[in-house]
């Protein structure tokens, strides 16, 4: 009898431990999205409620009140570098993301306050920036609240928030070009001069092509046998409308590519010459 009682107690203890450590799915799942942006990144952690047949805006989410913009815990929005929203400079760091939805527009709030979960406890004096975003009606309903990054360029992106049939957009910008030019200027004055990379940045971003061409020339002086230098110098000449010089550069590149038995660049230069001879 004593042995049986010991067994029963042991089984009950195991069941109790299992019950205490049981894991169940989140009702509103947490998501972290990280987007490389300009010279750094943006990261957002938020929770994703579902419609589940409910009236969302003007119902579950009241108009005119501060909303945590998701579910569960407060949102955390991290900028790895300096960005700008509506002309306001935002330094690197982690901020709260909240909103005040209305039928025709939302107020999107970036705040120093990291614990915004609703109107209660919200401190307006902690706002870094408020942005009025016009609502856009979606043709199809989004069941699960979704935030994503869209329309990415070297210096701008949109943070889009979508739920039910409503979308709002927060535009984010940064001074990539200014920082890149400063970086190039600094590096060019050192011994290991990145002429090729500087020239590529200028050429691909619509900057001074004359300067880009000069740097491609410097890159060729550094590494006269490197086929990419000949290829991109020829492309730069094409962009400048200097067709005959581009042909000469492509012929020189083709000669080197054949001598090096590089099939890929041989094809590249042959194609470029064919296009230039049309």
Strands annotated E in the chain: 29-37, 40-48, 76-79, 83-85, 88-90, 93-101, 105-111, 127-134, 136-150, 156-173
Angle at 173 between CA 171 and CA 175, to 5 degrees: 175
Contact 31, 63 (CB under 8 A): no
CA 256 to chain centre: 39
Q: Are residues 196 and 89 in the same domain?
A: no
pLDDT for res 15: 46
> 166 pLDDT band (50/70/90 cuts)?
very high
Angle at 108 between CA 122 and CA 151, to 5 degrees: 150
- 1 domain-assigned: no
- 2 domain-assigned: no
Q: Are residues 60 and 112 in the same domain?
A: yes
Q: Which of the 8 DSSP states describes residue 173?
A: E
Report the pLDDT averaged over residues 4-9.
48
Number of structural domains in the chain: 2
Give the pLDDT confidence of 24-33 residue by residue, as tens digits: 777 889 999 9
Give the pLDDT confidence of 60-114 residue by residue, as tens digits: 999 999 999 999 999 999 999 999 999 999 999 999 999 999 999 999 999 999 9
Q: Are residues 161 and 261 in the same domain?
A: no
Residue where one domain finishes, among candidates 132, 150, 173: 173
Q: Are residues 264 and 192 in the same domain?
A: yes
Cβ neighbour number for residue 111 with a 10 Å cutoff: 24
Residue where one domain finishes, among candidates 173, 207, 225: 173
Residue where one domain finishes, among candidates 173, 205, 234: 173
Q: Are residues 168 and 33 in the same domain?
A: yes
Token pair 């046998």 is at which residue?
225
Q: Are residues 82 and 163 in the same domain?
A: yes
59: which 2 tokens? 């119902």
Q: Are residues 244 and 148 in the same domain?
A: no
Report the pLDDT averaged over residues 130-149.
97
Domain encompassing residue 107: 26-173
- 5 domain-assigned: no
């Amino acid at each position: 009898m004593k042995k049986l009682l010991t067994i029963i107690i042991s089984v009950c203890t195991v069941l109790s431990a299992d019950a205490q450590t049981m894991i169940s799915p989140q009702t509103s799942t947490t998501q972290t999205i990280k987007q490389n942006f300009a010279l750094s990144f943006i990261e957002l952690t938020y929770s994703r409620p579902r419609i589940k047949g409910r009236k969302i805006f003007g119902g579950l989410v009241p108009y005119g009140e501060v909303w945590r913009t998701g579910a569960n815990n407060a949102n955390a929005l991290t900028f790895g570098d300096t960005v700008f929203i509506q002309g306001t400079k935002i330094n690197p760091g982690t901020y709260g993301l909240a909103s005040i939805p209305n039928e025709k527009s939302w107020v999107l709030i970036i705040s120093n306050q990291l614990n915004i979960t609703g109107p209660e406890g919200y401190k307006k004096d902690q706002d870094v920036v408020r942005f009025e975003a016009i609502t856009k009606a979606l043709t199809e309903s989004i069941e699960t609240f979704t935030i994503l990054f869209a329309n990415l360029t070297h210096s701008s992106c949109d943070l889009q928030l979508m739920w039910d049939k409503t979308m709002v957009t927060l535009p984010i910008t940064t001074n990539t070009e200014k920082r890149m030019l400063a970086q190039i200027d600094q590096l060019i004055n050192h011994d290991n001069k990145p002429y090729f990379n500087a020239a590529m940045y200028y050429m691909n971003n619509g900057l001074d092509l004359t300067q880009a061409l000069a740097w491609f020339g410097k890159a060729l002086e550094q590494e006269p046998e490197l086929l990419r230098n000949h290829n991109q110098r020829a492309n730069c000449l094409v962009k400048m409308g200097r067709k005959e010089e581009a042909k000469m550069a492509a012929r020189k590149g083709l000669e080197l590519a054949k001598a090096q038995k590089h099939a890929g660049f041989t094809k590249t230069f042959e194609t470029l010459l064919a296009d230039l001879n049309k």
